[in-house]
């Protein structure tokens, strides 16, 4: 399998402080890769750097062989890299339908966009029901569905999900993770950031553990699930 995303010795941060120190990570095509770690470990910063919102200070980010570390955010989406961000970041005063249309902002094929909106509605029927409502009026779980559906509207080759289970009821979390598995079965490569390490490592093929801006462990997901250090630090055992 070929690597779709290769991050090599990435350094990035805010103001005078580096949040990431030499983070290296690979996502192979067709894989789900989980990134786990505590609050402030640098998971979100890594995704934001890949998306071009946080500028890389050193290192390289290669997407399908192309170095994207210096590209502006709006060009990165066009290459096929979409993100469902932490906290969902739904446009609160745009309707559900308009939120989805924004996800397809870089595309010009109106019929394709219309077809993908129908696909999104088939995946999450509740969004179809509430298509005319303001995004800010949805419940947390519905907003998470909308955030994922919105990211998919870009027709990404790699989907990045930041904390999709955050603040959601357990049965909704199960539903969201089922969708993640289905997407992957259909061929989507996924980079998944989660604090819910158990859920993440169960669906993922491989996992990385981040601590204070550094990758401290990386292995097959099933191995991480039984690793004593991971169990002690992230699985609460």
* Contact letters for other proteins, residues 110-149 (x by CB under 8 A): ------------------------x-xxxxx--x------
Contact between 89 and other proteins per CB under 8 A: yes
- Residue of the chain from 37, 42, 85, 141 that contacts other proteins (CB under 8 A): 85
Q: In 3-state terms, what secondary structure has residue 162?
A: strand
- Residue of the chain from 3, 38, 53, 217 that contacts other proteins (CB under 8 A): 53
- Residue of the chain from 60, 106, 175, 218 that contacts other proteins (CB under 8 A): 106
Closest Cα to residue 26, out of 55, 56, 62? 62
151 in Cβ contact with 105 (< 8 Å):
no
**Min dist. Cβ of residue 227 to other proteins (A):** 33
- Residue of the chain from 40, 87, 112, 125 that contacts other proteins (CB under 8 A): 87
**Min dist. Cβ of residue 237 to other proteins (A):** 31
Closest Cα to residue 100, out of 142, 50, 157? 142
Residues with Cβ within 8 Å of 139's Cβ and at least 6 positions away in sequence, in order, are none
Beta strands in 1-63 (DSSP E): 3-14, 17-28, 32-37, 56-63
- Residue of the chain from 13, 103, 164, 207 that contacts other proteins (CB under 8 A): 103
**Min dist. Cβ of residue 154 to other proteins (A):** 7
Residue whose CB is less far from other proteins, 60 or 101: 101
Residue whose CB is less far from other proteins, 53 or 217: 53
- Residue of the chain from 90, 146, 158, 193 that contacts other proteins (CB under 8 A): 90
Question: Cα dist. 37→106, 120, 130, 217 in Å?
Answer: 32, 30, 35, 10
Rounded CA-CA distance 43/19 in Å is 10
56-63 β-sheet, strand order: 17-28, 3-14, 56-63, 66-67
204 in Cβ contact with 225 (< 8 Å):
no
Give the residues lining the site for other proteins (CB under 8 A). Answer: 51-53, 72-78, 82-83, 85, 87, 89-94, 98, 101-103, 105-106, 134, 136-140, 143, 150-151, 154
């Amino acid at each position: 399998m070929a690597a779709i995303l290769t991050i090599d010795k990435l350094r990035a941060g805010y103001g005078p402080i580096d949040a990431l120190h030499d983070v290296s990570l690979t996502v192979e095509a067709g894989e789900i890769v989980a990134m786990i770690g505590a609050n402030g470990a640098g998971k979100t910063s890594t995704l934001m750097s890949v998306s071009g919102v946080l500028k890389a200070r050193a290192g390289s980010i290669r997407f399908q062989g192309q170095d994207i570390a210096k590209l502006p955010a709006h060009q990165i989406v066009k290459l096929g890299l979409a993100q469902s961000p932490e906290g969902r970041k739904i446009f609160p005063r745009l309707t559900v339908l308009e939120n989805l249309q924004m996800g397809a902002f870089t595309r010009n094929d109106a019929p394709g966009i219309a077809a993908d909106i129908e696909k999104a509605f088939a995946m999450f029927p509740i969004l179809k029901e509430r298509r005319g409502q303001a995004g800010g009026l949805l419940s947390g779980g519905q907003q998470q569905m909308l955030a994922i559906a919105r990211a998919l509207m870009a027709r990404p080759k790699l989907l990045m999900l930041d904390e999709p289970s955050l603040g959601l009821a357990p049965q909704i979390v199960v539903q969201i993770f089922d969708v993640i598995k289905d997407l992957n079965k259909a061929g989507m490569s996924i980079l998944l950031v989660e604090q819910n390490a158990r859920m993440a490592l169960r669906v993922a093929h491989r996992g990385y553990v981040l601590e204070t801006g550094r990758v401290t462990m990386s292995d097959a997901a099933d191995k991480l699930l039984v690793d004593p250090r991971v169990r002690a630090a992230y699985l609460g055992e």
